Amino acid sequence: MNSKPKPPPRLKNGVYISMWDFKGMTENELSFQAGDLFQVVEKNEEWYWARKLDPSGRCVAEGYVPFNYLAKKESMETEPWFFGQLSRSETVHRLMSEENKTGAFLIRVSEKKGAQYVLSVRDDSLVRHYMIWRNAQGNFYMNPSRSFPDIPSLLEHYRDKGLTHGLKPLTPCYKQEPKPMPHWDNWERPKEEFILMRKLGSGYFGDVYEGSWKRKVRVAIKVLTRVDVTHQDTFRNEIEAMKKLRHKHILSLYAISSLEDPVYIVTEFMSKGSLLELLRGPKGEHLQMTEMIDMASQVADGMCYLESQNFIHRDLAARNILVGDNNFCKVGDFGMARLVKRKEGIRRMSSKILFSPPFAGMTNSEVFHEVQRGFKMLCPPKCPATLYGLMCKCWDLNPDRRPDFKCLRGQLQSITHYENPE
């Protein structure tokens, strides 16, 4: 599929071990089995160029491997219970999956300043969270009266003695195998490689379908007519910029097919659709406040990244936040507002989506004038006072007094509860 790339410069690196089997999808990708050894030569976003090693350390093959299939040998990343960066909401959904029972646990990197990690354990129909700190001597502890040289020792102690409520961390949480898209250098792909399977909906930026790449990888495909694409050169430049954006809370652009009508914009598939659909659907009624705060924190984290890349979204709204398994949120449609011609009906649609619930009975013009006069939406039912205060700061007419996304992320992450053993 691809012409063979020039090998990157040889760099010395540690030895990595593969966590799952993988079958290469293109000629430049290596196939391997769980437990195979690698030396990573170059780290490049979601794919590493690596040497596959035999037991004696000799190189037997070189090529691309998906980064999230490898872990540094003899590091905590190889432990089945270590999940790295994981939001609180995703943690709960993973532990509450049918593969797990009471006592299922995982260790994740703490989102709070000061703490190193968090131990999360399933307790029947809920999940309990315990903060893990590190003292000046480098030892780990959940209670200052008892510290441990490493995390396995800490886990062994509480597996024997128990945490709170008689709960014990017994079995590592089920860890699902990642599903990467293929690696390719040319993002312009033939339309024949993609299959439109099911229409998911229509939006400002065309129709959206669930699809697949060569019946191997599930994707989402936006379908646009070329007449709707503004300024072809701007379109290409903006797509080039979007291709470079890589963050866990930013919707990944996989490929485009733009040489003929219609234009395909191919992204990763998010199983639960938009945040707006989720909140307004039956499942939205059962979301806990802690879950919604965590989802807002994920969005703020994605927007922090966009800000760090000097990238302006231009159309941030619940309809452009995509939700995947375990309520994992990603910011989507960034930059699209300047790529696609807006059509008739958008003003009416945005009026229905944005203004009806919080400003019922008011026209767009009335809302505009009331907001300019300092009117703020009343506190929603069951919304904590702390959170409503944060919302009001975001509505300040003076932009210099509004919190930035970094501040929002920090304050949202601070609204959490932990219970550590005595």
Give tens-digit pLDDT for 90-148: 898 899 998 999 999 999 999 877 789 999 999 998 999 999 999 999 999 999 999 99
Q: Which residue has the tokens 């690196």?
A: 13
User: Which tens digits make up the pLDDT trace of 11-41?
Assistant: 445 899 999 999 999 889 999 999 999 999 9
Closest CA to 177 of 19, 40, 16: 19
Domain parsing of the chain, residue ranges: 15-76, 81-172, 191-268, 274-341+349-415
Q: Which residue has the tokens 């990343």?
A: 77
Amino acid at 309: Q
Amino acid at 9: P
Amino acid at 409: R
Residues above pLDDT 70, as percent of the chain = 86
CATH number of 274-341+349-415: 1.10.510.10
Q: How many CA atoms lie within 13 A of 300 on its CB side?
A: 20
Edge-first strand listing for the sheet containing 59-66 = 59-66, 47-53, 37-44, 15-18, 70-72
CA distance 236 to 242: 10
Q: Which helix (H) or strand (E) holds 72?
A: strand 70-72
Six token digits for residue 9: 């410069």
Cis peptide before 262 (omega within 30 of 0): yes
Six token digits for residue 111: 């989102």
User: Which tens digits make up the pLDDT trace of 164-222?
Assistant: 989 999 999 999 888 888 888 788 899 999 999 999 887 666 789 999 998 888 999 98
CATH number of 81-172: 3.30.505.10
Q: Which residues pair with 43 in a beta bridge?
A: 48
Q: How many CA atoms lie within 13 A of 267 on its CB side?
A: 25
Q: Which residues pair with 63 in a beta bridge?
A: 50
Closest CA to 246 of 63, 44, 42: 44
Cβ proximity of 268 and 253 under 8 Å: no
Catalytic residue annotation: 315
Q: Which residue has the tokens 């990573």?
A: 40
User: Which tens digits make up the pLDDT trace of 385-416?
Assistant: 889 999 999 888 898 999 999 999 888 888 87
Tell me, which fold does domain 15-76 have in CATH? SH3 type barrels. (2.30.30)
* pTM (two decimals): 0.75
What architecture is the 191-268 domain classified under in CATH? 2-Layer Sandwich (3.30)
Q: Which residue has the tokens 């993988």?
A: 22
Amino acid at 137: Q
